[in-house]
Amino acid sequence: MNLFAYGTLMNPEVWVRVTGRTFRCAAATLQSYAVRRLHGHDFPGILPVPGQSARGLVYFDLDADTFARLDAYEDDFYQRTVLTVELCGSGTAEEAGVYLIQPAFHTIVAPEPWVPDFSVPLWLDASGGR
């Protein structure tokens, strides 16, 4: 299964620290969702917002052990749900797990977008992938 990362897991250092591995990845978007800042936290949440799109990375072909590590990292704050994302450049649709913020935590979602404090070079690469 694939994973769509839209927050701190796009940072290669965080990704390797959490998963212990590297995976093929590509730039992608998730339509009708937005990445928002969370009050009191350094990480974002994602929630449905019609007419907007969330940019991120899709990591391909993760195994069960990797998902177990990711589930532990994300804790109860998020629920992993399978959604369809679009690969940048090709427009190809891919199913991917997405960690959606749990409804109980929607009260801390800020109206402004979350902006990463690290470089995400694949956002600029319309062909995607590495």
Domain boundaries, the chain: 3-112
Q: How confident is the model at residue 115 (pLDDT cuts 50, 70, 90)?
A: confident
Q: What is the mean pLDDT of residues 101-128?
A: 77
Q: What is the homologous superfamily of the domain 3-112 according to CATH?
A: Gamma-glutamyl cyclotransferase-like (3.10.490.10)
Taking CA atoms, 10 is separated from 25, 45, 102, in Å, by: 10, 14, 20
Q: Which pLDDT score, from 0 to 100, does residue 130 have?
A: 34
More confident residue, 64 or 125: 64
Read off the pLDDT of residues 17-47 as tens digits, 9 standing for 90 and up.
999 999 999 999 999 999 999 999 999 999 9
Read off the pLDDT of residues 94-104 as tens digits, 9 standing for 90 and up.
999 999 999 99
Residue 88 contacts by C-beta under 8 Å, 6 or more apart in sequence?
A: 26, 27, 28, 29, 55, 125, 126, 127, 128
Q: Which pLDDT score, from 0 to 100, does residue 116 have?
A: 85
Q: Which pLDDT score, from 0 to 100, does residue 120 have?
A: 67
User: Is the confidence at residue 124, as pLDDT, over 90?
Assistant: no
Read off the pLDDT of residues 63-84 as tens digits, 9 standing for 90 and up.
999 999 999 999 888 999 999 9
